[in-house]
Amino acid sequence: MIEIAAQLGVNRWMIQRDVKLMQYNRDPGLKQAESSREALRSEKRACLMGKKVHAKQNDRFLLMTGITLEERTFRNMIDFHKTELMKIMNAEDQDAAIRALPKSTRRTMRNNGIVKDWRTTAGAEKYLVSV
């Protein structure tokens, strides 16, 4: 607002008073300005996100291997916990088999999308069957 006031050559308090009055009256022009501001911000955010290092690394990894880093992490976690997962898959009651695991293992599996709601996810089962 300070920049707007400086461009118009008026006191910034006048600008703030007018904006408050527009908010109170639910001015459609103000709503349009706010929505266009949000659109610009989201566009800028998306542009900056594409320039970040992790996005570039993910794109490069995808080009080299054909899978994303997230998918590779998922596969690594399944391979790491394969013995526990096989016990869960072969158990009569998956719920009890998952609860028998240490809490840290359950948390890791849940955070990596291997286990959800005391059941193995479809993606984990599909990967285990294919391996």
* Whether pLDDT at 41 is above 70: yes
Q: Domain segments of the chain: what residues?
A: 2-51, 68-130
Residue 120's DSSP bridge partners are: 115
pLDDT category at 22 given cuts 50, 70, 90 is: confident
Reported as a single tens digit per residue, the pLDDT across 52-82 is: 777 788 888 889 999 888 899 999 999 999 9
Residue 112 backbone class (left: φ over 0; alpha: ψ -120 to 50; beta: rest)? alpha
CA triple 8-11-17, angle to 5 deg = 100
Question: Distances in Å between the alpha carbon of 79 and those of 32, 101, 103?
Answer: 52, 16, 19
pLDDT of residue 50: 67
pLDDT category at 26 given cuts 50, 70, 90 is: confident
Q: Across all residues in the chain, what is the average pLDDT?
A: 87
What share of the chain in percent tops pLDDT 70?
A: 98
Side chain identity, residue 57: Q
Q: Residue 44's CB: how many other CB atoms inside 10 A?
A: 10
